[in-house]
Amino acid sequence: MATDRDAERDAITAAIQRLLDGRPTRSTGALTTLQLAAEAGIKRWVLTHKHVDLKEEFARRKSEANGIPPAFQHLCARAVDAEATAQALREDNNRLRERVAVYAQVFHELRTELDRRTDSTAHRSPVRSLPPRT
């Protein structure tokens, strides 16, 4: 017959696997000692004092997975790609904003020059003076 200690170890081992597979049933799924204990259905002190070897195994396997369950690693890679794309789009947007500002300044200067020339020709009389008689 299995002892309480064996039952705890089995529960912890199963919980480690569920957390690393990204399929928690009793916890948030975070790869922490507290969530491992919750997933195993035991108190944290039982894990940290009675089953130190399993806690350390969990820590080792978690570090091998970079703290991300294998089931979610593809999402992490997609998030990294999405952030890189977003950064490139922000840089492109900034370049375009600078270009638009330059074009707006050029347009303003051209419009001002056109208005100045139009105003100077509008003040001229369409009637020409005749030369003085001699």
The two three-digit tokens of residue 44, written as one number: 């944290």
54 and 14 together in one domain:
yes
- Per residue in 28-50, pLDDT (tens digit) is 888 899 999 999 999 999 999 99
The two three-digit tokens of residue 23, written as one number: 């399929």
Could you tell me if residue 127 is inside a domain?
no
Q: Check the CA dihedral 67-70-73-75 and report its sign.
A: negative
Q: At what angle do helices 4-21 and 52-64 cross, to 10 degrees?
A: 10
Residue 81 host element (H or E): helix 70-122
Containing structural domain, residue 76: 71-121
77 and 59 together in one domain:
no
Q: How many domains does the chain have?
A: 2
Q: Check the CA dihedral 96-97-98-101 and report its sign.
A: positive
Nearest to 29 by CA among 39, 37, 43: 39
Q: What 3-state DSSP class applies to 40?
A: helix
Could you tell me if residue 126 is inside a domain?
no
Kindly report the number of other CB atoms within 10 A of residue 27's CB atom.
Answer: 19
43 and 76 together in one domain:
no
10 and 60 together in one domain:
yes
Q: What is the model's pLDDT at position 105?
A: 96
Could you tell me if residue 18 is inside a domain?
yes
12 and 49 together in one domain:
yes
Q: What is the model's pLDDT at position 55?
A: 95
- Per residue in 67-122, pLDDT (tens digit) is 677 667 778 788 889 999 999 999 999 999 999 999 999 999 999 999 998 887 66
33 and 84 together in one domain:
no
- Per residue in 89-98, pLDDT (tens digit) is 999 999 999 9
When pLDDT is cut at 50, 70 and 90, the band that residue 124 belongs to is low
Could you tell me if residue 56 is inside a domain?
yes
51 and 8 together in one domain:
yes
The two three-digit tokens of residue 13, written as one number: 């081992």
d(CA 36, CA 111): 70
pTM equals 0.53
